[in-house]
C-alpha cells in the first residue's frame, strides 16, 4: 500500500488537500485509509511507515481517533452543508475539527467520500476552508466523478488517480465474468468485495437477463413481467452495455457476434434506443417517481 503513494506524494511536504480519483472500492479505501494512518502516526519511521503501536494507530483501527473524521452522503445520496458544519451532531463540523488542537496526533484529517455528491452550498463552504486551511490539517476528497466538483475546488487540490482493479485481473479469478457483465456492474459495485455466493447470484441474474434479450427468446411481455423487480437498474445496465457492444461492431463493419434482438436493429434505431435507455436510467438514478413498467414498455417499442 505504501509503495503506491510513495512515488506520488512528497511525505516531507504533504499537501493540505488531495483529490483521489477512485471507484470507492475496498482496494481504494484501504490505500487511502493506510495513508491516513501514516500521516497521523506519532511514531512513524523515516520511510513514513506507521508503527501500528501508538495510540493514534490503535484508535484508527478502532474507528475512534478524535483527529480523524469521515463524511458520507446522506440517505438522499447528497452531502449538504449541514454534514460539513456538523448541524446534525453526527460530527463536530469539519472546520471545528481542523481548527482544534490535535488530541492524539500532530495533525487532523477529514476524509469526504463521494465528494462529487456535495451540494453547491456545501462545495462553497468547503472552498472557503481550502482557501485558508488551518495549520497541520488535511482534507482528502474521494470521487469517481471529479468533473462534478467546482473548478475552484479542483484547482486547490493535489490530484491522484487510483486505477480500478482491471477486468483482466478479475476474469482470471472468476472465469464466468465477461466484458458486458463487468462494464455494467463495476460502475455501481465493487465486484472484488462481493462474497462468492452474492457474486454467483448476480452472475445468474446476468445470464437470465442476457437470455431474455436473445433473438429467439425475446418477448416484450416476458421482459416487462420478469424485469419488474429489485434488479431493474442492474438489468438496464446490461442492456446498455449490450447496445454499446452491438453499435461498436456495426460501426466497425464487423459481423455482429451478438445473438441479442438488438443486433436486428439498424444504427439509427440503436442510437435512439440508447438515448431513451440512458434517460430512463437517469430518472431512476435521480429517484424521480416514474412508472417503471410503462417507461420500459415505451423503450421496448423501438424493437420492431
Note the pLDDT tens digit of each residue in 143-202: 988 999 999 999 999 999 988 766 566 656 665 667 777 777 666 666 766 777 888 888
Torsions phi, psi of 187, nearest 5?
-70, -25
- Measuring CA to CA, which residue among 61, 68, 56 is closest to residue 110? 68
Enumerate the CATH 3.40.50.300 domain ranges in the chain, comma separated.
2-161
Task: State the architecture of 2-161 in CATH terms.
Answer: 3-Layer(aba) Sandwich (3.40)
CB 152 within 8 A of CB 127: yes
The whole-angstrom separation of Cα 288 and Cα 165 is 32
Enumerate the CATH 1.20.272 domain ranges in the chain, comma separated.
167-300
Is 79 in a helix, a strand, or coil?
strand
- Measuring CA to CA, which residue among 287, 181, 288, 279 is closest to residue 235? 181
Mean pLDDT of 239-260: 79
The whole-angstrom separation of Cα 177 and Cα 244 is 18
Sheet holding 137-143, edge to edge: 68-71, 108-112, 137-143, 17-21, 158-161
pLDDT recorded at residue 150? 95
CB 31 within 8 A of CB 1: yes
Q: Where are the beta strands (DSSP E) in 64-212?
A: 68-71, 108-112, 137-143, 158-161
Mean pLDDT of 240-265: 80
Q: How far is CA 231 from CA 31, 80, 105, 215, in A?
A: 31, 29, 45, 22
The whole-angstrom separation of Cα 2 and Cα 30 is 11
Asked whether the predicted pLDDT for residue 23 surpasses 90, the reply is no
- Average pLDDT of the chain, as a whole number: 86
CB 115 within 8 A of CB 19: yes
Cell numbers representing residue 42 in the block: 506519532
Count other Cβ atoms within 10 Å, centred on residue 246: 23
The dihedral formed by the CA atoms of 109, 114, 119 and 123, expressed in degrees to the nearest 10: 40
Percent of the chain at pLDDT above 70? 88
Q: How far is CA 13 from CA 48, 58, 184, in A?
A: 12, 25, 40
Torsions phi, psi of 181, nearest 5?
-60, -50
- Measuring CA to CA, which residue among 162, 76, 158 is closest to residue 118? 76
Tens digit of pLDDT for each residue in 77-115? 899 999 898 876 555 788 888 988 999 999 999 999 999
Tens digit of pLDDT for each residue in 274-283? 999 999 988 8
CB 48 within 8 A of CB 83: no
CB 80 within 8 A of CB 121: yes
Q: Which residue shows C-alpha cell 491516513?
A: 36
Fold of 167-300: Zinc Finger, Delta Prime; domain 3 (1.20.272)
Amino acid at each position: 500500500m505504501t509503495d503506491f503513494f510513495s512515488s506520488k506524494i512528497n511525505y516531507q511536504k504533504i499537501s493540505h488537500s488531495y483529490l483521489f480519483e477512485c471507484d470507492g472500492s475496498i482496494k481504494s479505501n484501504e490505500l487511502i485509509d493506510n495513508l491516513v494512518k501514516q500521516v497521523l502516526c506519532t511514531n512513524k519511521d523515516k520511510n513514513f511507515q506507521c508503527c501500528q503501536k501508538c495510540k493514534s494507530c490503535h484508535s484508527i483501527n478502532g474507528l475512534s481517533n478524535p483527529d480523524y473524521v469521515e463524511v458520507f452522503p446522506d440517505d438522499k445520496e447528497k452531502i449538504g452543508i449541514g454534514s460539513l458544519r456538523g448541524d446534525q451532531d453526527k460530527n463536530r463540523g469539519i472546520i471545528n475539527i481542523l481548527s482544534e488542537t490535535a488530541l492524539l496526533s500532530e495533525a487532523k484529517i477529514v476524509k469526504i467520500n463521494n465528494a462529487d455528491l456535495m451540494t453547491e452550498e456545501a462545495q462553497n463552504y468547503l472552498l472557503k476552508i481550502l482557501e485558508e486551511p488551518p495549520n497541520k490539517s488535511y482534507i482528502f476528497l474521494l470521487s469517481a466523478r471529479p468533473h462534478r466538483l467546482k473548478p475552484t475546488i479542483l484547482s486547490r487540490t493535489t490530484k491522484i488517480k487510483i486505477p480500478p482493479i482491471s477486468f483482466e485481473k478479475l476474469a482470471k479469478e472468476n472465469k464466468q465474468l465477461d466484458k458486458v457483465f463487468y462494464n455494467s456492474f463495476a460502475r455501481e459495485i465493487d465486484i472484488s468485495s462481493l462474497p462468492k455466493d452474492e457474486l454467483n447470484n448476480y452472475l445468474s441474474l446476468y445470464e437470465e437477463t442476457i437470455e431474455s434479450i436473445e433473438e429467439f427468446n425475446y418477448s416484450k411481455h416476458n421482459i416487462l413481467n420478469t424485469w419488474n423487480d429489485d434488479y431493474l437498474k442492474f438489468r438496464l445496465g446490461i442492456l446498455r452495455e449490450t447496445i454499446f457492444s452491438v453499435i461498436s461492431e456495426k460501426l466497425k463493419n464487423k459481423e455482429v457476434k451478438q445473438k441479442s434482438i438488438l443486433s436486428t436493429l439498424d444504427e439509427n434505431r440503436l442510437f435512439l434506443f440508447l438515448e431513451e435507455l440512458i434517460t430512463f436510467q437517469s430518472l431512476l438514478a435521480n429517484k424521480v417517481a416514474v412508472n417503471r413498467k410503462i417507461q420500459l414498455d415505451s423503450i421496448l417499442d423501438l424493437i420492431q
